[in-house]
Amino acid sequence: GPAAWGADEPVRVAVAANFKQTMDRLAADFSKRTGELAPIVSSGASGLLYSQIVQGAPFDVFFSADQDRPVRLEQDGLVVPGSRYTYAVGKLAIWRPGRTWSGTLEQALKAPDVKVVSIANPAVAPYGVAAQQVLEKLGLWAKPPFRVVQGESLGQAFQFVATGNAQLGFIALSQVKEAMSAAEGTIANEVLEIDSRLYAPLAQDAVRLKRSAGKAAVGRFLDFVRSPEGRAMIAAAGYAQDP
Amino acid sequence: MNAALDLTPLALSLRLAAVTAVILLILGTPLAWWLAQGRSRVRFLVEALVVLPVVLPPTVLGFYLLQLLGANGPLGRLWSLLDVRLVFSFTGLVIGSVIFSLPFVVYPLKGVFEKVPRAQLEAAATLGAGPLDRFFSVAVPASLSGFLAAGVLAFAHTLGEFGVVLMLGGNIPGETQVLSIAIYNHVEQLQYPAAHALSAGLVAFSFVVLAVLHFTHSRTKAAT
Amino acid sequence: MNAALDLTPLALSLRLAAVTAVILLILGTPLAWWLAQGRSRVRFLVEALVVLPVVLPPTVLGFYLLQLLGANGPLGRLWSLLDVRLVFSFTGLVIGSVIFSLPFVVYPLKGVFEKVPRAQLEAAATLGAGPLDRFFSVAVPASLSGFLAAGVLAFAHTLGEFGVVLMLGGNIPGETQVLSIAIYNHVEQLQYPAAHALSAGLVAFSFVVLAVLHFTHSRTKAAT
Amino acid sequence: MTRLNGRFTLRRGGFLLDTAFDSAGPGVTALCGPSGAGKTSLLRCLAGLEMPEAGTLSVGGEVWFDAERGVSVPPQRRSIGYVTQEPSLFAHLSVEDNLLYGYKRLAPSARKTTLEDVVDGLGLKSLLPRRVTNLSGGERQRVAIGRALLRSPQVLLLDEPVSALDVAGRADVLRYLRLVLERFAVRSVYVSHDLREAARLANEMLWMEGGKVVAQGNARDVLTDVHLPFAELDEAESLLDGVIEGHDEQMGLTRIRCANQALWLTQVEAPVGSSHRVQIAARDVSLALSAPGAVSILNVLEAKVSDLVVAPRQPAQMIVRLDVAGHPLLARITRKSALALQLQTGTPVWALVKSVALAE
Amino acid sequence: MTRLNGRFTLRRGGFLLDTAFDSAGPGVTALCGPSGAGKTSLLRCLAGLEMPEAGTLSVGGEVWFDAERGVSVPPQRRSIGYVTQEPSLFAHLSVEDNLLYGYKRLAPSARKTTLEDVVDGLGLKSLLPRRVTNLSGGERQRVAIGRALLRSPQVLLLDEPVSALDVAGRADVLRYLRLVLERFAVRSVYVSHDLREAARLANEMLWMEGGKVVAQGNARDVLTDVHLPFAELDEAESLLDGVIEGHDEQMGLTRIRCANQALWLTQVEAPVGSSHRVQIAARDVSLALSAPGAVSILNVLEAKVSDLVVAPRQPAQMIVRLDVAGHPLLARITRKSALALQLQTGTPVWALVKSVALAE
Ligand SMILES: Nc1ncnc2c1ncn2[C@@H]1O[C@H](COP(=O)(O)OP(=O)(O)OP(=O)(O)O)[C@@H](O)[C@H]1O
Ligand SMILES: Nc1ncnc2c1ncn2[C@@H]1O[C@H](COP(=O)(O)OP(=O)(O)OP(=O)(O)O)[C@@H](O)[C@H]1O
Ligand SMILES: [Mg+2]
Ligand SMILES: [Mg+2]
């Protein structure tokens, strides 16, 4: 029942799937430093989290993968006014397993053995939109010399490459670190970060939800995420900060 | 974070699958019996209706259920008067799973119920058994394999279910984060070893449970 | 993007569901018959095995199938020698859907096959019908409702399926982007009117098809 | 006793059951008729398993069915035992549990018999723990009979209950059945194609054809009416009531006085002075104009021809109805013999009775 | 003709079928015995529906089963028609399609009969378009018989095929069956609890008890052997072969010469001079020491007592085997009569035969 979010309740965080691991680390670190309860982290696609929040999901803060959904929540009046801010800006990269990087992005994409390229679904994932923009800029979107397969999420776009079904994939730079931490071995030298001018900034916004009112720990957690320590952890995960 | 060792999602999944299977058997049995043996002319409409939950993608079904049962949904408001939250709780998972696996219980049961020999039901009636008594003393024992099938499908389908549960439950660790979501998360987070371990465990565990169930059932059949 | 008017995903979904249901009936029927009437002692193991595809979350199942059937997977390599691509193609969708809906075909069929009267099979044998002939001339007509149930479940479950299809298909518009993915995308993008329109269309269409099927079946049963 | 009366109109495809019946009882009413006459359909209406479009049924004064008033007592609340033409045992229960199915559903006070009694009477002892699916045809029938008896019904419906039994087994079962029916004053409707079997049990007979009861009455009268279909059957027979006069222990015979004359039959266990009914097959009766000399035929009765017709389906045979001191007795002889003996109504004759059996 | 011989060992729970048999044919072999004797089990072994642990079966010289050599021709490749004790019609097919099921699966050249013939012979015309689920018991049996006949089998297995038919229907069906069996020289094994019925059809009889064939032989000999179980049955009877001597058109009678004496029976449609077999029920035979005077009994035969025993189950009765010019004839009389007539082996007697019927 509603009594469940009393004062000594842990902070409940809804986070876009691509930021989940970073959030897990932030939460653990927060708890270790402050001695407070570790926040409970629920992840999902941003659009689904949005629907759940509208329907009263018990989340205190929402870390979206884009700016659109937090804005919508603001308009819906579910957000503590003034709490929206950009907590990270994503970096797009391409991953070409099996070879140490050389040459340009364009060369890589036009290599004859690149038959399948995976991206996140532009319809649902901001990174997909960014990938589409890159391909458009390079004139490879309308009639690509390869097949474009779309993952429902960044994770799936990554898996298509990881399983060898795509020779090249557009991923988030943050996934490189994740893959390393997940003992996939380092793939850092198989990855090329894409010039951020080729795509619109991947700003990811967070909001504090109104229902967290009166729960002081929420403010402390958000402060921690915004603190230099928190920002350092986000940067280390492969994100830029708000420009 | 070493989620591979966190057994909460597994326990939650098993509890959810068991509760769902039991509720589905309780709800699905009379429905299937009515479909199989009833005389109403509109049965075919209900037969079609029962299948509809699975033609929608689970996440989308979950989305609509969320609209219906959520804080702003018509049913959600009603229940919140009773201080019961239907979504983002175990209750929500159960409701979603029950709806989503309904056809997999109703159809196999209906199939075997149709084959209960009418002569045996009539014999039971002339021997003094009323409709309910006939159902339990004749139809149920003659349909055990159907119950097993229905239960197994409901249990397994609920174990693997993901979209509805994610939507209605909210992926809250320790509360609504079931095993399927946990595995999904691991895959999504590229934590493959953890995903493999959990998947293998789930598959092996399910296999053993199912094999034991079927083996026991085949023994029972041979014995009676 | 006005996908509400784009009927390609719908056509693809229907084709996928139909092909999957047909293949599943073709594969599932002998398997179910063997499980129902065979004498092997290891049937219970196979019965358990058949259910395993649904205990894994669909996306995760898709992930493993991708490993197996993909370019670097053992089966994928084999088939690529024949210049057949198993993933990111309609073939891939079909394979994934078939595996994922297998229990929903095998179990209902097995249920009715078990109830085919042995006396009738024996009568057919003494009248000169070999095993295959007996199966088609006695068991199949006696099990029509089981086939209907199996077909309906396979069709509907494939229509709504999402995770496996997404993983094996790669969501390629016009090729592997089925309706369930399209609807999901709309929901995810908060394009609710489009999502509602597609969902309502899918549900209404399915309802009509299913109702007609069941109505026809109930007529046939009454007539013979 | 329990009177069964009513009428039913039931349409099933091209078949129309449309008949009235009134059977006062007591005891067994035999229901006979050709295949497809509607015997099973009538029993199903009595049991409440068919819902006639029109009609009524009252049993011992209680209304069980009345289409107009919308009354229809469901089968489980009619006190019936129904042994169907093809036994439908519960495949998932053992023989014992099949037998006890109806018994368990009775209030202990309503139980008229016990498992032991029925098991002994029907010879089911060795079958009790068996599953029913691999019983032989005759075993299945006996279990079905036992199950119906253990329900201790007011009315017992028997649809060819012993058709799969061999002659000896059939006799055993019928003997036991007769005993139970009498002991508990059960009303019974008994479908049989074997007229001798039916006559041995029945007080009353119904003959159905084309969905209608076309002849009905006291078994003795119906059986010996030369204008009714019974008399023309191979198994036609007569029933005579009598009193036991004595036993010839040495020969194993019993003398019974029927129609004021003595008849010998195989010794029966019954006290001198007790009343019994005997049955005499028409084909076992020969006729002579004078008292015969030394023959192996024990029983010779003085009689008078009261009616005679040519057997409708066998024109070489005549059916002769005799009057034995007021009691009807059927004889079947060839037309040649009848002509040689110059039989006509009123001719005094000697009836040579080859075989006499106790009917009850 | 098709000889059936072999032996089977088949264990089913507590029951052991363990018997050898050798039935040379031609024609019908009757299989009788008490309920649970193993008759159905034996037929199922013949049909190939049971797999005996040991044994052999050869039919007309062809090996259908040999456990040791691992030979077992599957049912569908044995040329059998099997009418089971409880008819198992195909519920999803019409009566017509049921009838044609086996027929359609035969090469046209192997078809010995036609749908029309069978439908006419069994009176199934009006049932053809019907679904089988609502047929009456007797109708179901006739359809099952028709279905088996239309398979044009070499061997026909009949398990109480007419148990649900009324007397007239039964006679019609058996008449037709006899016709077909003869016309197409079909070998048949016929289980029946009605000995008269069996005798009317059979050349040979097997008696089973407790899973074993305990008596076997020519129907005439087996039936009249006073030491075999047949003779003690109520329905015990004798078979005599004879030649038609003439017809009495006016009286509707036929004279047949059997055992050198004349017997009268209901007129039959058969040319003078043709051979026939007649059956005489033991209970229809009375004995006299002197030639009787005017009686309605047409047939009086000179005979000699060749054997006599007290009926094992009915100690008041005696079973007497007569020798009528070398042919055996059974009579059943009371012990009292036997004593009065002072019968012993060798006593010359007159056999008064109440009723004679054509057996084939
Ligand atoms: N739905 C139906 N449509 C047409 N005829 C039907 C239907 N149901 C029953 N009949 C016919 O009704 C008749 C009476 O059936 P019933 O079973 O009462 O006969 P019966 O007297 O018991 O015969 P039997 O002695 O052969 O068992 C049969 O000829 C049967 O074919
Ligand atoms: N699995 C089993 N376990 C124990 N006994 C069995 C089994 N199967 C059959 N029997 C017994 O075998 C015996 C022979 O059966 P069968 O059906 O051959 O008898 P039958 O001679 O045809 O009798 P009926 O005249 O009653 O039909 C029966 O007593 C039956 O109960
Ligand atoms: Mg009937
Ligand atoms: Mg039998």
pLDDT value of residue C3: 41
Backbone angles phi, psi at C47, to 5 degrees: -60, -40
Whether E105 sits inside 8 A of C133 (CB atoms) is yes
pLDDT tens across A51-90, in order? 888 888 889 999 999 999 999 999 999 999 999 999 999 9
**Ligand 2 atom closest to D141 (CA):** 26
Note the Cα A150 to chain centre separation in Å: 17
Ligand 2 centroid vs D149 CA: distance in angstroms? 23
Residue with CA at minimum distance from ligand 1 atom 18: D38
Nearby residues for ligand 3 (ion, Cβ within 5 Å): D 40, 85; E 136-137
Whether residues B199 and C51 touch (CB distance < 8 A) is answered with no
Residues E245-263, mean pLDDT to the nearest whole number: 80
Tell me what percent of the residues of chain E surpass a pLDDT of 90.
Answer: 39
Chain A residue set in contact with C, beta carbons under 8 Å: 45-48, 50-51, 68-69, 72, 116, 118, 121, 123-124, 147-152, 156, 159-160, 163-165
* pLDDT for position A2: 39
Residue E226, both tokens: 């006073």
Q: How far apart are CA E121 and CA E163, in angstroms?
A: 18
The fraction of chain B above a pLDDT of 70, given in percent, is: 96
Average pLDDT (D287-310) is 79
pLDDT of C124 above 70 = yes
pLDDT of residue A235: 92
* Contact state of C126 with E82 under an 8 Å Cβ cutoff: yes
Pocket test for ligand 1, best of D17, D18, D32, D39 (most atoms within 8 A of CB): D39
Name the nearest CA neighbour of B104 among B27, B214, B187, B211. B27
Chain C interface includes B42 (CB < 8 A): no
Closest ligand 1 atom to Cα of D208: 21
Distance from Cα D15 to the centre of ligand 1, integer Å: 7
Alpha-carbon dihedral B81, B87, B92, B93, rounded to 10 degrees:
-170
Q: Is the minimum CB–CB distance between B126 and chain D shorter than 8 Å? A: yes
pLDDT band at B24, cuts 50/70/90?
Answer: very high
Q: Is the sign of the CA dihedral C54, C55, C57, C62 positive or negative?
A: negative
> Which of B176, E244, B47 shows the shortest CA–CA distance to C214?
B47
Cα B151 to Cα B26: distance, rounded to the nearest angstrom: 11
Contact B200/C at CB under 8 A: no
In terms of Cα–Cα distance, which of D247, D208, D237, D233 is closest to D45?
Answer: D208
Q: Which residues have CB under 6 Å of ligand 2?
A: D 134-139, 164; E 12-15, 33, 35-41, 85
The per-residue pLDDT for range D141-191, each reduced to its tens digit, is 999 999 999 999 999 999 999 888 887 788 889 889 988 888 888 899 999
Alpha carbon separation from D354 to D195, E287, E329, E348 (Å, rounded): 18, 10, 17, 20
The response to whether residue E76 sits with its C-beta less than 6 Å from ligand 1 reads no
What is the CA(D208)–ligand 4 centre distance, in A? 29
Among B87-101, B124-138, C207-221, name the one with the lowest average pLDDT.
C207-221
Q: Which atom of ligand 1 is nearest to the CA of D44?
A: 18
* pLDDT per position as a tens digit, D186-210: 899 999 887 767 776 788 888 899 9
Assess whether pLDDT exceeds 90 at residue C161.
no
| Mean pLDDT across E11-36 | 89
Verify whether ligand 1 is closer than 6 Å to residue D38 (CB atom): yes
- Check residue E217 and give left, alpha or beta (phi > 0: left; psi -120 to 50: alpha): left
Q: Does D131 contact B224 at a Cβ distance shorter than 8 Å?
A: yes
Is the CB of E164 inside a 6 Å radius of any atom of ligand 1?
Answer: yes
- In this prediction, residue C23 carries a pLDDT of 96
- Tell me the nearest-neighbour CA distance from E81 into chain D, angstroms: 19
Residue type, B73: G
Instruction: Specify the amino acid at residue C70.
Output: G
Cβ neighbours around B179 below 10 Å, total: 28
**SS3 state at D221:** helix
Q: Flag whether pLDDT at D344 surpasses 90.
A: no
Q: What is the pLDDT of residue D224?
A: 74
Between the CA of residue D272 and those of A91, D183, D257, D266, D355, what are the distances in Å?
A: 117, 21, 11, 14, 21
ipTM above 0.90, yes or no: no
Q: Is D247:D267 a contact under the CB 8 Å cutoff?
A: yes
Q: D222 pLDDT exceeds 50?
A: yes
Range in D39-53, E223-237, E270-284 the model is least confident about: E223-237
Between A45, A47, A149, which is nearest C172 by CB?
A: A149
Between CA C60 and CA E229 the distance in angstroms is: 75
What local confidence, expressed as pLDDT, does residue C114 receive? Answer: 92
pLDDT of residue C1: 42
Which atom of ligand 1 lies nearest, measured to the CA of E141? Answer: 26
> Is it the case that chain C and chain E have 3 or more CB pairs lying under 8 Å apart?
yes
Is residue A182's pLDDT more than 60? no
Residues B147, C174: Cα–Cα separation, whole Å: 41
- pLDDT, mean of residues C181-210: 86
* Contact flag E151-C127 (C-beta cutoff 8 Å): yes
- Stronger pLDDT, E202 or A99, i.e. the higher one: E202
Chain A CA closest to residue B194: A182
Average pLDDT over residues D315-340: 84
Report pLDDT for B3: 41
> From the list D93, D131, D151, which residue is nearest B128 (CB)?
D151
- Order the strands of the E54-59 sheet from edge to edge: E15-23, E4-12, E54-59, E62-66, E71-72
Which chains touch C (3+ CB pairs under 8 A)?
A: A, B, E
Q: Tens digits of per-residue pLDDT, E153-200? A: 999 999 999 888 887 788 889 889 988 888 888 899 999 887 767 776
CB nearest C127 (choices: E91, E94, E102): E102
- Within 8 A by CB and 6+ apart from C180, the residues are B56, B57, B60, C13, C159, C160, C161, C162, C165
Q: In what order do the strands lie in the sheet with E327-334?
A: E285-288, E348-353, E299-310, E317-324, E327-334
3-state DSSP assignment of residue E157 = strand
d(CA D229, CA E168): 11
Q: Is D86 on the interface with B (CB under 8 A)?
A: yes
E126 pocket-lining for ligand 1 (C-beta < 6 Å): no
Ligand 2 atom with the smallest distance to the CA of D136 is 17
Rg of the Cα atoms in chain C = 20
Contacts of B197 in chain A (CB under 8 A): none
- Distance from C-alpha of B62 to C-alpha of A57, rounded to nearest angstrom: 14
The pLDDT of residue E135 is 94
* Residues of C (79-118) whose Cβ lies below 8 Å from B: 103-104, 107-108, 110-112, 114-115
Instruction: Outline where DSSP puts E strands in D70-185.
Output: 71-72, 80-83, 155-159
Percentage of residues in chain D with pLDDT exceeding 90?
A: 39
Q: What is the total residue count of chain C?
A: 224
pLDDT digits (tens, 9 = 90+) for A1-54: 333 444 578 899 999 988 988 999 999 999 999 888 899 988 888 888 888 888
Q: How far apart are CA C171 and CA C186, in angstroms?
A: 14
If pLDDT is split at 50, 70 and 90, which confidence band does C223 have? low
Mean pLDDT, chain D, integer:
86
From the list D84, D90, D131, which residue is nearest B138 (CB)? Answer: D90
Is residue C22 over pLDDT 90? yes
The residue type of D95 is V
| Residue D297, pLDDT above cutoff 70 | no
Residue for token pair 């809250």: B172
pLDDT tier at E219 (50, 70, 90 boundaries)? confident
Among A14, A15, A17, residue whose Cα is nearest residue A175: A17
pLDDT in tens, A124-157: 888 999 999 999 999 998 888 998 988 888 888 8
Q: What is the pLDDT of residues B156-182, one digit of tens each?
A: 999 988 888 888 888 888 888 888 888
Residue C177 has pLDDT above 70, yes or no: yes
